[in-house]
């Protein structure tokens, strides 16, 4: 299965030769600011299955002090990927071009969600990180 993704302006494009896993929505204050939204929706990907098709030179990165980071298009600002120690380990679901054949399996960091947000029922919610077996 090939999954394709791109930024808003189309300058940066990637493909994933495999499946996404562990889709989630994070409601922490960092994700709200990074995505200018109530939460981030992303799924994990095996780094060896991910590759850039074009526009890698248009990317800008941000890395926090704990080794996690983001890659985004320096032209349009779309957040495309999450990184750990500079290696892509997740993709934002909003930048995938076709049905990724995955559903959000959990909402995390709901303990710090925005006061104006209502989270839909029916999906597990965790105050912070989910347990390792979730």
* Prediction pTM value: 0.86
pLDDT in tens, 41-69: 999 999 999 999 999 999 999 988 888 89
Q: Note whether 118 and 129 are within 8 A (CB).
A: no
Domain residue spans in the chain?
2-57+92-112
Residue 56 token pair: 């890698």
Distance of alpha carbon 10 from alpha carbon 60, whole angstroms:
15
Q: How far apart are CA 26 and CA 33, in angstroms?
A: 11
Query: Please, which pLDDT band fits residue 80 given cuts at 50, 70 and 90?
Result: very high
Residue 57 DSSP code: G
């Amino acid at each position: 299965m090939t999954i394709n993704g791109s930024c808003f302006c189309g300058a940066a494009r990637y493909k994933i030769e495999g499946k996404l896993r562990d889709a989630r929505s994070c409601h922490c204050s960092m994700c709200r600011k990074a995505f200018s939204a109530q939460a981030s929706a992303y799924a994990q990907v095996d780094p060896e299955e991910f590759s850039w098709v074009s526009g890698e030179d248009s990317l800008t990165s941000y890395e926090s002090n704990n080794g996690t980071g983001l890659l985004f298009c320096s032209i349009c600002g779309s957040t495309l990927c999450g990184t750990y120690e500079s290696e892509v380990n997740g993709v934002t679901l909003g930048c995938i071009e076709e049905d990724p054949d995955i559903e959000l399996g959990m909402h995390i960091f709901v303990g710090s969600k925005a006061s104006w947000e209502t989270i839909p029922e029916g999906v597990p919610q965790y105050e912070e990180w989910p347990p390792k077996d979730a």
